[in-house]
Structure 1
Amino acid sequence: MKKKLASVTLLLLSFAAGAQNVATTSNQPTVDAPAYNKWSIELNGGVGKPLRAMSPGYSTATLNPFHADLGVRYMFSPTFGVKLDVGYDQFQERDDTPNFESRYVRTSLQGVINLGRALNFETWTNTIGILAHGGFGVSQISTETGYGGQDYMGHGIMGLTGQIKLSNRIALTGDLTGIVNGRQNWNFDGMGRTRTGAFDGVLLNASVGLTFYLGKNEKHADWYSVENERLSKLEDRVTTIETGLIDTDKDGVADLYDLEPNTVSGVAVNTKGQAVDANQNGVPDELESYLEKTYGQNGKGATNNTVEELINGGYVNVYFDFNSSKPTNASLSGVDFLVKYLKNNPGKSADIIGYSDEIGSSNYNTELSRKRAEAVKAVAVNAGIDASRLNVIANGEDTSVNKNSKEARQIVRRVTFQVK
């Protein structure tokens, strides 16, 4: 009989491996393949109660410890999968009944249906789920009392598992499972034979436990909704389009296609949103022409003076996101403006002055302003400006705006320049 049990167990394991290979073959990753994890490990503990096949006068406690099971589950899709698990139960007498002790060990291959996905639980909750599972397996009852041996049999198993999602990696579970043994020869207490041996053995398990999700993706199949993911991706695309169609600098080129989304208002731009700067001196041609006419000056010296006035007047800035020391892509042209000026004027140097908003402690914000200035200096040095011509100053918090205004705080999270 032991050889038969080993053979059946090997058959079940082979079937599980074959099912995995089929799943791997039929679910080769594609561009549009759903990105969810499929493997999980289940660990449970609780109580077990033999409902039938006990000898006269023998009985277990209503809530009889000890029960435990360990399983590995693979989901072919968010609604269907398989699991291979092993279970262990230990039975002993209740008070005022004859002594006995027996053990029940099983291994089962089960199909799993995610009722939460099948019933569209995602329309009202993202943290509660239900799994239905059922299948077949082999089992053994052993005892040191009574007949003092082992009884081998097959069984059918079916149950429900409630789930509460604790995180993307762990779920708390509660399970209720029924097992019906076939060809059970001895009662669960081991003190007498069953009446028919056909389907006399009935066992009920109740347990709580944890499910651990494995894989590199964010969600497991238990919590993956195809419809929700489709709507989420569609919403992201719409948001991207809406954001991209905004024209921040009002130059007629949407930010989605604008390589320079912070050009000076009113100056001419090319089809890529870049200000027209034929002499490559960092000043848009229209602005350069206007300044020369306004100041009544001509020539290269006049242009350099007007550029210096723009820089020192605070019109050239580099901006940062909240709590960040990385310049925003849109404001890197401010560094480019300074770099071009310093290359055209080798005798000039510049102070790089960092600021922060008022959110956070003063000491932290001073250090953040220094890091912002250092980051801008690094960009300028990498662009070819000698580090000795650049002096970093940490001015800390700029208190000139209303700190409760999100838009105003964005303005003061900046680096400015003073050339000399």
Structure 2
Amino acid sequence: MNAQYKKEKFDHWAIDVGLGIHKIGANLSDGYNPALFGQGNLGLRYMFNNRFGVRLGLGYSSFKNETSFPFKSNYYRASIEGIVNVGDVLRFKDWTNRFNLLMHGGIGSASLNITEPEDNGGDQIIALNFGITPQYKISNSMSLFLDFSSIVHFNQEDNFDGGPNLSPRESNISLFNTSLGLSFSLGKHRQLADSYLNEEKENYIALEEINKRLAAAEKEIETLKNKEISSTPNQELIITELDERYVRKEEKVTPTNNANTALLKKLLNGGYINVYFDVNKTRIQDGSLNTINTLRQFMLDNPTLNAELIGYTDETGTEKRNIVLSQNRAKRVFDVLVAAGISPARISYFGGGEDKSVSEGARQLARKVTFTIR
């Protein structure tokens, strides 16, 4: 299957649904202590990119006190808010793919409706909302969130208990809301913008690591070529050095008398130089970055040759899922090579599914991408 280099997509639209507790910060008459529970919120978000967006926020709170000063009131709120993906700004994805942090703030209108002891007819209030939202990624399309919001009121004529507000023109933090809820992506990609990892960024990070190692690797290769017993390179020494750098201890190769290009091609085709992955991951192990650099340099030195990348998994998981995972691993290596300057026309990739030739005790060796050079 010929691969095409495409950017991944995310859904611009998402919906947030939360329930939780509230605490009145001000505008409450003396002697009242209403229950904490009874607030919910709904947000419809549009993300311009995976860092900035806007949200229409709707909220409801119910207040009541059934002690010696009983009252009941309902509170409705609507606001337009800006969203900042702080986790992306601070590069959380350098150390975690699960946790993230959003910040939001905006202005809106609220209505406080006292039902007991008597109906106030509704008090219309200007409301500013500011909050932070830690997230935990459940899947690409769904995240669990814990939101902490502070709401500042202006022109609140009535207290939450129905008594008169003696300083309605003063602004204050009137409510503190804490919500636990879920965010869902709305769209065909089933990918939340706030948990989206731009592959170009990920490949750039990988390339930075490759470039750091490239200078050292080139020096090592030059030193290796200069270690000669006769007028031709010592092939046995070259293979020994490659074993130390790129091949796991369980894998060894027999020396040949072919030229260096033919030797390295044989090592690649023979499965002695592979890229390895952790369980259920498509992120390349740090120890395999030199392997990608080896293939990159080989293809730059041999512009007439093409490479086929074959991804594999171990035998854990379902067969269908392993086909997808193996293909995604091959594509990840493909993306890094293309970003490193290799023409996508020279590379193809596909998923080989489970590598059943590896025993249960050596499953790490099955989670890999191998190469076929033609």
TM-score (norm 1): 0.48
Of residues 90, 94, 99 in structure 2, which corresponds to 1:128?
Answer: 99
C-alpha distance in 1, partners of 2:7/2:29? 56
Aligned to 1:242: 295
Change (3 A) 1:104 1:68: same
Tell me the equivalent position of 1:208. 180
1:122 match: secondary structure: helix
Corresponding residue of 1:387: none
1:95-120 C-alpha deviation (Å, 9 max, x unpaired) = x4311110000001100111101111
**Residues 101 and 127 of structure 1, relative CA distance in 2, 3 Å threshold:** same
Find the aligned partners of 2:43 and 2:358 in 1 and give their Cα distance.
Answer: 58
**CA, structure 1 residues 91+243, in 2 after alignment: closer, same or farther (shift >3 Å)?**
same
**1:123, distance to aligned residue in structure 2 (A):** 1.1
1:38 Cα shift?
1.7
Partner of 1:228: 201
**CA distance in 1 between partners of 2:105 and 2:186 (Å):** 22
Deviations 1:54-91 (A, max 9, x none): 12222213xx1100001111111221111001100000
TM superposition shift of 1:126 = 0.8
Aligned to 2:9: 35
Tell me how large the CA RMSD over aligned residues is.
3.9
For 1:144 and 1:85, the matched residues in 2 are separated by: 24
Q: 2:24 aligns with which of 40, 43, 50?
A: 50
Shift of 1:214: 2.3
Bigger relative contact order, structure 1 or 2, given CA contacts below 8 A and separation 6+? 2
Report the structure number with the largest CA radius of gyration.
1
Gaps of 5+ in 2: 211-283, 285-290, 309-314, 321-353, 367-374
SS in 2 for 1:66: strand
Answering whether residue 228 of structure 2 is matched by residue 175 of structure 1, we say: no
Distance 1:220 1:232, change over 3 A: farther
* TM-score normalised by the chain length of structure 2: 0.54
Matched position secondary structure for 1:166: strand
Contact 2:140/2:196 (<8 A) preserved: no
Q: How many residues align?
A: 233
1:208 maps to amino acid? L
User: Are positions 1:160 and 2:132 aligned together?
Assistant: yes
Q: What amino acid maps onto 1:175 in structure 2?
A: D
Q: Are residues 59 and 141 of structure 1, via their aligned partners in 2, closer, same or farther at CA, if it must alter by over 3 Å? A: same
Q: Deviations over 1:219-263 (max 9, x none)?
A: 432123445344389699x959939979xxxxx974549xxxxxx
Query: What corresponds to 1:374 in structure 2?
Result: none
Displacement, 1:173? 0.5
- One-letter code aligned to 1:203: L
Letter in 1 for 2:95: W
Match of 2:77 among 106, 116, 119: 106
Structure 1 segments (4+ residues) deviating >6 Å: 31-34, 232-236, 243-246, 401-406
Gaps of 5+ in 1: 1-30, 247-251, 258-321, 325-356, 360-400, 410-420
SS in 2 for 1:82: strand
Letter in 1 for 2:20: G
Distance 1:104 1:244, change over 3 A: same
Q: Counterpart of 2:116 in 1: which secondary structure?
A: coil
The sequence identity of aligned pairs, in percent, is 31
Question: Counterpart amino acid of 1:43?
Answer: V
